[in-house]
Amino acid sequence: MGTEKGRRKEKILVVDDSEMNRSILADMLSDEFDVTEAEDGEAALEILGKSADEFSIVLLDIVMPKKDGFEVLAEMNRTRMIEELPVVMVSAETASAQIERAYELGATDFIMRPFDASIVRRRVLNTIFLYAKQRNLLSIIEAQINEKEQNSSLMVDILSHIVEFRNGESGLHILHVRTITDLLLRKVIKKTDRYPFTEADISIISMASALHDIGKIAIDDKILNKPGKLTDEEFAVMKTHSMIGAKMLEGLASHRTNPLVRHAYQICRWHHERWDGRGYPDGLKGDEIPVSAQIVALADVYDALTSERVYKPPFSPETAKEMILTGKCGAFDPFLLECFSEEFEHIREDLSKNVTEREARREIRNYAEAVRHTGGTVASERTLKLLDYERMKYNFYAELTEEVQFEYLVPENILKLSAWGAKKFGVEQEISDPANNRRLQEQLGKDWFSGLGRALQQTTPGSPEFRRDCELPIGGELRWYSVIMRVFRTDGERSEIESVIGKLVDIHDTRLAMNELKEKSIRDPLTGLLNREGAGEELPAKLANFPAHKYAVAVFDIDLFKRANDTYGHLFGDKVLTEVAERLVHSTRVHDLCARIGGDEFLIVFEYDADIHPIIARVFKALCGPVGEFDLTVSMGVAEMTEKGQGFRDLFKHADEALYACKNAGRANYGFYGESKE
Amino acid sequence: MTIQECYNALGGDYNEVIGRLKSERLVQKFVLKFPADGSYELLLRSLEEGNAQEAFRAAHTIKGMCQNLAFTALGNSSAALTEALRDGSLAGYEALLSPVKEDYARTVAAIGEYEASL
């Protein structure tokens, strides 16, 4: 799995003037993030100025020397950095006015000092995830924009450019007017409730603004492109363009119903009206002029002033602003001038940016806003609900079964755990960069992640499952677990592991119980010795060590055991058996194997190096001796293993023969196979 | 001296800080760092020089560190001083400075004793 190469950690910028506060945050976060520190607002802006793209989030203190947190936010607003890079305030400030101000300046979240390690980590993660989601949404929307919006936008552009070409203006005028209109509209809406414009309205009005001069199509070339000042007559002709444009639009069938055409009509007709009533063609005054036309008028004037024309050089943005604000050029609503003044920096900056990029970004942002407002996910609401239900069901079962369920997303390098699993390991349910998570290393062993990697290597596209029972050192205790995993791979030839789901089930107790049962089945409950099955199971492996070790099989039974039973009762009989077993265990060594293979019949397999005879003599002696009033003796037959591969049955049969020879010879004795016959 | 005893001596709340920072090692590390922070000296110097803004920032930093470390006593006295200095006036700060001085001395002394016992 590609993750061990160490997927880049998300970078965080921590801005705080107190070294201690910075290092507390850094310590809390350095496990999962790559932390860069800045000691004041100025240093932060310097870092961001160079490499804002690298960071996923900024943690920002408020009270700092040189530049404080608010100044940093303001600057990030000015450069629009705030739209891409989330800022979480971390401060001891509790005054709600301060907090409110931070939010107004675009802060995403506010963490109050003193902070809690897990909350800080969680909030930072959440913020990063949220922004990542938003970025994804933006890219989805981008695709849709290209499909949906471009058509109508393109029509408008073509139409307006025809005018511009005739006009001899740079193709940028239309775009500039549109940009300024958009920015001013937003500002106006932010500052007042007077106009009930929605995001859709803003987008339509901005688009319609591009059509403000279409009436010029009908104006004579000679007048339109005359290098010098127009005569009164020529100017009178020129002035007709606004009404002509309106008429053109009025002729369209959709004039009354289509909002684009309706706004374009107002803009065309009234974008040369003046707030003081001295404009044309209708001499409307003040609020009689639709605000869309007022805004386009201002945008038109500003861009005309700052652009080069056949009859004039361009003015600087500052001069143009001054001319408009002081009423040297046009007459506007003081409120609108206020908006213009406040939005001036933005406007100037936006107009100097690359045109297409600016356009794309604006469209996308607008569309995203619209989706957000209109709830573009209505259609999938039901699906989401079902998914939620499934998730609840899954969680419920997961809680019940006490198993660690997990999901590992390779490209994201995120491990997700079921609630129970997270609790068991004492970690969060979502862990980014799990390989280096200290707590997991403590819980699963330092190399758990590479172990997982090795396990996953054993899967193939054809057999994506992995199942194994194994002992794992979880929580410092070696226990048996059943590991079940399934991997998901990317399509295509170079199919790589994309994600893994699976679970760890603690089977330790079950396994122990199984072992115990098995143990029981091969042991004689009375004496605790192996029974016949047990002996049969363990012997072959043992005998395989021949000839490195020598082996002999002895079979013995208790002489006259039936009589003891009959005389003293079965309980006594049990006592005798137990006693024999005890004597047997004490007289043999660990490597020897003892079993009770029938009523009073026992088996010993000796492992020895030199001579078996003295061993047998010693054991025989130990076994015999009175139990209560019963004078216990045994008869024993012994067979030595003589060749490799000799089976247990064979040996047993020989020993049994030797035993019968002993019995026939009068009991209370032992004999060796092959020797008695001699 | 245990860290808990150190907290008791300086008027802090050890349970609160360990609840938040989760690790005794971290708490110890930052507690030992505290005396080396220059904000207290900056505060005194700024007040002497009549620089209310700088004094406010220094007091604010001390307050923030105390909150992080759950140094309750010094946190409270420095918070009171911070608020007095917030509007940029130095009027009557002396009455609020002396508890800060006392608490700071107590805090640093306790940490010193704790460090010596390690």
The domain ranges of chain A are 10-128, 168-358, 402-511, 522-672
DSSP string, A106-122: T--EEEESS--HHHHHH
Strand, helix or coil for residue A358 = helix
Average pLDDT over residues A512-526: 77
pLDDT beyond 70 at A676: no
Q: Do B68 and A20 touch (CB under 8 A)?
A: yes
Please report which confidence band the pLDDT of residue A365 belongs to, taking 50, 70 and 90 as the band edges. Answer: low
Please report which confidence band the pLDDT of residue A595 belongs to, taking 50, 70 and 90 as the band edges. Answer: very high
Contacts of B68 in chain A (CB under 8 A): 20-21, 24, 113-115
Please report which confidence band the pLDDT of residue A8 belongs to, taking 50, 70 and 90 as the band edges. Answer: low
- Cα-Cα-Cα-Cα torsion A590, A592, A593, A597, nearest 10 degrees, comes to -130
Average pLDDT over residues A157-174: 63
Please report which confidence band the pLDDT of residue A580 belongs to, taking 50, 70 and 90 as the band edges. Answer: very high
The hierarchical CATH code for the domain B3-116 is: 1.20.120
Cis peptide before A281 (omega within 30 of 0): yes
Q: Which residue has the higher pLDDT, A163 or A384?
A: A163
Domain A402-511, CATH among 3.40.50.300, 3.30.450.20, 3.40.1360.10, 3.40.1000.10: 3.30.450.20
Q: With an 8 Å Cβ cutoff, is B86 touching chain A?
A: no
Give the largest CA-CA distance in chain A.
153
Planar angle of CA A20, A24, A25, nearest 5 degrees: 120
What is residue A200's predicted lDDT score, i.e. its pLDDT?
76
Average pLDDT over residues A526-551: 83
pLDDT beyond 50 at B38: yes
Contacts (Cβ under 8 Å, ≥6 apart) of A362 = A179, A182
Q: How far is Cα B103 from Cα B118, in angstroms, rounded to an integer?
A: 23
Which range, A120-124, A549-553, A634-638, has the best average confidence (pLDDT)? A634-638
pLDDT beyond 50 at A373: no
Q: With an 8 Å Cβ cutoff, is B13 touching chain A?
A: no
pLDDT beyond 60 at A215: yes
Residues in a beta bridge with A596 = A602
- Residues of chain A in Cβ contact (below 8 Å) with chain B: 17-21, 23-24, 27-28, 61, 63-65, 91-92, 113-118
Q: Do B26 and A27 touch (CB under 8 A)?
A: yes
Q: With an 8 Å Cβ cutoff, is B22 touching chain A?
A: yes
pLDDT beyond 80 at A238: yes
Q: Do A114 and B67 touch (CB under 8 A)?
A: yes
pLDDT beyond 50 at A284: yes
Report yes or no: A65 and A38 within 8 Å, Cβ to Cβ. Answer: no
Please report which confidence band the pLDDT of residue A148 belongs to, taking 50, 70 and 90 as the band edges. Answer: very low
Q: Which of A137-146, A231-240, A399-408, B51-60 has the lowest mean pLDDT?
A: A137-146
Q: Which helix (H) or strand (E) holds A668?
A: none
Q: Which residue of B has its CA nearest to A90?
A: B64
What is residue A160's predicted lDDT score, i.e. its pLDDT?
61
Q: Which of A87-101, A246-260, A528-542 has the lowest mean pLDDT?
A: A246-260
The hierarchical CATH code for the domain A522-672 is: 3.30.70.270
Instruction: Report the phi/psi class of residue A315: left, alpha or beta, with left for phi > 0 and alpha for psi in -120 to 50.
Output: beta
Helix axes of A317-325 and A334-352: crossing angle, nearest 10 degrees: 170
Helix axes of A291-306 and A172-191: crossing angle, nearest 10 degrees: 130
The hierarchical CATH code for the domain A10-128 is: 3.40.50.2300
DSSP strands (E only) in A271-411: 404-409
Annotate A140-164 with b (16+ C-beta within 10 A) or e (fewer).
ebbeebeeebeeebeebbeebbebb
Contacts of B29 in chain A (CB under 8 A): 27
Please report which confidence band the pLDDT of residue A137 belongs to, taking 50, 70 and 90 as the band edges. Answer: low
What would the two tokens of residue A120 be? 């800080």
Contacts (Cβ under 8 Å, ≥6 apart) of B109 = B9, B10
Please report which confidence band the pLDDT of residue A319 belongs to, taking 50, 70 and 90 as the band edges. Answer: very high
Main-chain dihedrals φ then ψ at residue A113, nearest 5 degrees: -80, 145
Q: Which of A362-376, A386-400, A518-532, B33-47 has the lowest mean pLDDT?
A: A362-376
- Testing the interface with B: which of A16, A63, A438 to mutate, by most B Cβ within 10 A? A63
What is residue A450's predicted lDDT score, i.e. its pLDDT?
87
pLDDT beyond 70 at A209: yes
Specify burial of residue A197 (Cβ count, 10 A radius: 0-12, 13-18, 19+).
Answer: middle
How far is CA A577 from each of CA A432, A527, A533, B88, rounded to the nearest angstrom?
65, 7, 19, 99
Residue A608: which of A592, A585, A584 has the closest Cα? Answer: A592
Q: How far is Cα A347 from Cα A304, in angstroms, rounded to an integer?
A: 14
Model confidence, pTM: 0.35
Interface size, chain A vs chain B, as Cβ–Cβ contacts under 8 Å:
59
pLDDT single digits (tens) A406-457: 888 887 788 888 877 888 888 888 888 888 888 888 888 888 888 888 888 8
Q: Any idea where the domains of chain B sit in the sequence? A: 3-116
Min Cα–Cα distance to chain B from A17, Å: 8
Helix (H) and strand (E) counts in chain B: 7, 0
Domain A168-358 top-level CATH class: mainly alpha
Please report which confidence band the pLDDT of residue B109 belongs to, taking 50, 70 and 90 as the band edges. Answer: very high
pLDDT single digits (tens) A9-65: 788 999 998 888 888 888 878 888 888 999 899 999 999 888 888 888 899 988 888
